[in-house]
Amino acid sequence: MRRVVITGHGAINALGHNAAETRASMREGVCGIGDLEFQDVGRLSISIGGQIRNYRPEDHFGRQELTLYDKFTQFALLAAREAVAESGLVVDEALSERAGVVLGTAGGGLQTQDENYRSVYEEGKNRVHPFVVPRLMNNAAASHVSMTHNLQGPTYTVATACASSNHAMGQALNLIRAGQADVVLTGGSESMLCFGGIKAWEGLRVMSKDGCRPFCATRNGMVQGEGAAVFVFEERERAMARGAPILAEVAGFAMTSDAADIVMPSQIGAERAMRGALRDAGLAPEDVGYINAHGTGTTANDRTECAAVRQVFGAHADRLMISSTKSMHGHLIGGTGAVELIACLMALDEGVIAPTINWRERDPDCDLDVVPNEAREARMRAVMTNAFAFGGLNAVLVLTAPA
Amino acid sequence: MAEGVQEKVIAILAEQAVLDPSEVSLDATLADLGIDSLGLVETVFAIEEAFDIQVPFNANEPSQSEFDISTVATMVRAVENLIAAQK
């Protein structure tokens, strides 16, 4: 079977404007969550989030480009630019048709929708900018990445709420394995930090007003973030032949559906996804040293996830480490799995395990080594990353250190 | 008034074409200015915003629209007529 490796990565999120800054913040346990700043934030009961600071679109894009780029597209383009540069990929005519883009997002161009709904409903305007549709469509980010880098192969968007990025990266893996592409830019992007985006989430009563504390007995909900991460997935022989940097191998992937409840997670659905990913990677539970948890900081997710890990890993559950970096960058919804994959790369190539910050008090329902508050050094061969979405859709990836 | 409309339309077209207004002549076509279909749609929007008028324009068949886009001069005249009609 064709094998797939990661040859480049890029990111922008509350922890940094690139992958190196993101890694540094994860190592140091930096909290990227703070007071939200946008129009009408005073009318929200939730006023914190992992917002990207000091971001000026005009530093990165021209005026004409910005008329077409919603923020979620801008983030994806910046992350892709960084990933492609690191990979040293040269897209010639032959590669162009063998290279594609698969990105996750849940809200797509939500900022564009929010601004224009405000304009027509609240301000009573009867005219909107002609590019509202090409800005807000969910595939805008994937299409612009494809256009910018001239990638003419399979290109599409995956929308499975909080699992979008993991599903997207699983699709990228399978496209290359199946021989439908040799290179796929993949990951995800989200920009939901606007009045309508947060107002909708308030309704569910699952958001914390004071912070994201996954696995902690005092946890009281999730906190949103924004940003993107993009990776270059590349067929292994091709990457080796051109001497590309190989950050990790994408060894396994599995996806399941709970087929049960639209919001409550199912332990069995999560277990099946984790077992499936191990099986696909040809690994035993004992091979995994670190799990990047879905770890949203809600009562239900963290308890269910820990119970599922115990079931899948048995006695080894007490030896592995599991952390939720959402405590630092917030929950990027459709982009979250992509940013979290950076913690997995860091575990494999630097031997540094990102912590779960804000942890104060042990919860007997989450009695695993959650790497509280401080990063830890450890060497390992394999890591796992979980995403369990609303809608009961689960997607789990396994990465291994390059052989 | 008429001169004001002409200046404004030329300014909008110049911005869209990334040209100086002095480089936009009245007999220039959209192709001369390098304004493509997406640019035209944006131009129509900018004209509607600038003059607070509604421009009858369908991107599916630009040549069939009542709004004559043959040259800069025809567009200026069309805008003047629309302003007069919609006052």
Q: How far apart are the first and last CA of chain B?
A: 14
Query: For the residues A3-23, what does the mean pLDDT come to?
Result: 98
Query: For the residues A115-137, what does the mean pLDDT come to?
Result: 96
Provide the pairing of β-strand A227-235 with A183-190: antiparallel
CB A340, CB A308: distance < 8 Å: no
- State whether residue A286 is helix, strand or coil: helix
Rounded (10°) angle between helices A19-28 and A336-349: 70
pLDDT tens digits along A154-183: 999 999 999 999 999 999 999 999 999 999
CB A62, CB A127: distance < 8 Å: no
pLDDT tens digits along A195-245: 999 999 999 999 999 999 999 999 999 999 999 999 999 999 999 999 999
- Sketch out chain B's domains with CATH numbers: 2-86 (1.10.1200.10)
For residue A66, the chain B residues in CB contact (below 8 A) are none
Cα–Cα distances (Å) from A265 to A168, A189, A260, A340, in that order, read 20, 23, 9, 20
Residues 6+ apart with CB under 8 A from A28: A375
User: Catalytic site residue A129?
Assistant: no
Smallest CA–CA distance, residue B43 to chain A, in Å, is: 9
Smallest CA–CA distance, residue B82 to chain A, in Å, is: 17
A325 DSSP assignment: T
Residue B1 scores a pLDDT above 60 = no
Residue A54 scores a pLDDT above 60 = yes
Contact A129 B45 (CB under 8 A): yes
What is the percentage of chain A residues whose pLDDT exceeds 90?
99
Residue B61 scores a pLDDT above 90 = no
What tokens does A374 get?
């401080």
H/E stretch holding A49 reads strand A48-49
Using alpha carbons only, give the angle A288, A293, A299 rounded to the nearest 5 degrees. Answer: 140
User: Given this chain, do its domains A4-241 and A252-400 carry the same CATH topology?
Assistant: yes
Sketch the domain layout of chain A as residue ranges.
4-241, 252-400
Determine if residue A393 is left, alpha or beta; phi over 0 gives left, psi from -120 to 50 gives alpha, anything else beta.
beta
ipTM: 0.81
Residue A85 scores a pLDDT above 80 = yes
Contact B44 A131 (CB under 8 A): no
Q: Sorting pLDDT into bands at 50, 70 and 90, what band is A57?
A: very high
Contact A130 B41 (CB under 8 A): yes
Looking at domain A252-400, its CATH superfamily turns out to be Thiolase/Chalcone synthase (3.40.47.10)
Torsion of CA A69, A71, A76, A77, to 10 degrees: 40
Among A67, A127, A131, select the one facing B48 at the smallest CB separation. Answer: A127
Rounded (10°) angle between helices A164-177 and A336-349: 70
Dihedral sign of CA atoms A156, A157, A160, A165 in order: positive
Give domain A4-241's CATH architecture.
3-Layer(aba) Sandwich (3.40)
Q: What mean pLDDT is reported for chain A?
A: 97
Smallest CA–CA distance, residue B26 to chain A, in Å, is: 24
For residue A127, the chain B residues in CB contact (below 8 A) are 45, 48-49
pLDDT tens digits along A298-321: 999 999 999 999 999 999 999 999
